[in-house]
Amino acid sequence: MLECEIRFKIKEGKEFLKRASKLCRIVEIYSFSDHYFIRGPRWKTGSTSLRIREWRIKNSKRVKICEVLFSKTKEKRVGNLRMKQSSYGKLKLFEGSKRECWKLVEELEFKYWLTIRKPMGYVLELKRRQNTWSSRFVCEKIEKLGWWGEVEEHGKNIKAVKRRIEAAMNFLKGLGVNEFTSDPLLTIFLRCAKMR
């Protein structure tokens, strides 16, 4: 399965949400922190990751749930788009309390590396769905980065995934978005951390 994620910086989060609300509705609210763990230098590339996702709000409900997630992807380039190929996406290895998850990861001999916090996130869906793309995107506040958006498309056909991403980008340009990146969030986060 191929996955392509496009991210875009949002200068004014609340203003963007106000503009988007004319064409979209919020279908989910969420908040979580991803605690990344490593075992050697190859884990810092982002292609292989082990993290504890600590949920605060999931499916618009307050929760205290943690999950241990593993992902391993291969990267493919299609023009200026970066696509990830994975057999299983984000694989949930365990769900439990933060203490239980942390203990499991340490028993597997992983070391804590860094945390990316998303104190507020919204899943938006077009009020009038389009057949050209999934009609869903997220708008989230990321600690140390500000407001960012993301569109994700999946499929087996590279050209079809690329077409859907391009259709989503055209829609977002109509909302005033003019800069897109297919860099993984971890890459963006590390780049910004080095600049500080």
CATH (domain of 158): 2.40.320.10
Instruction: Quote the pLDDT of residue 69.
Output: 96
Beta bridge partners of 32: 55, 118
Instruction: Quote the pLDDT of residue 59.
Output: 87
Instruction: Quote the pLDDT of residue 46.
Output: 67
Q: In sequence order, what DSSP letters do the residues of 40-89 get, joined into one string?
A: SGGGGGSSEEEEEEEEEEETTEEEEEEEEEEEE-EEEEETTEEEEE-SSS
User: Which residues span the domain enclosing 185?
Assistant: 2-195
Instruction: Quote the pLDDT of residue 132.
Output: 84
What is the domain count for the chain? 1
Instruction: Quote the pLDDT of residue 144.
Output: 94
Q: In what order do the strands lie in the sheet with 81-85?
A: 74-78, 81-85, 2-10, 146-155, 136-142, 111-126, 24-38, 48-58, 61-72, 91-96
CB 27 within 8 A of CB 125: yes
Per-10-residue mean pLDDT, the chain, length 196:
91 91 95 93 76 94 93 84 80 96 96 96 91 91 96 90 92 93 90 73
pTM of the model: 0.91
